[in-house]
Amino acid sequence: MRYLLFGILVLTLSGCSGDEDRIYTVDELMDDQVLLAKITSECRNNPGALRQTPNCQNAAAADWKLRLERMNRALGG
């Protein structure tokens, strides 16, 4: 009985984790400009701790792809 209650407690608490742990893909960040700006801002404010995190790397890649797309459109491509 004790193990059953412990198991239920662990499963309940594991569902409480937020989106902060989530790793966003480059395509997701390209589609959501607000989220991209938020993550990019956080990464630029603390580059020593966050530079190598997957979200910061994906945000940098998404930002680069969006810049290339805008440049391509501006040049008539």
Q: Mind listing the pLDDT tens digit for each residue in 33-76?
A: 999 999 999 999 999 999 899 999 999 999 999 999 999 999 98
Instruction: Look at the pTM and tell me if it is higher than 0.85.
Output: no
- Asked whether the predicted pLDDT for residue 8 surpasses 90, the reply is no
Per-residue DSSP letter, 21: G
How many Å apart are CA 77 and CA 21, to the nearest integer?
A: 38
> What's the CA gap between 47 and 37, in Å, rounded?
15
Decide if 62 is inside a domain: yes
CB atoms within 10 A of CB 36: 21
Please tell me the total count of domains within the chain: 1
Structural domain of residue 29, as residue ranges?
22-75
Residue 17 inside a domain? The answer is: no
Flag whether 1 is in a domain: no
Does residue 14 lie within any of the structural domains?
no
In a domain, 12, yes or no: no
Residue 44 lies in a domain: yes
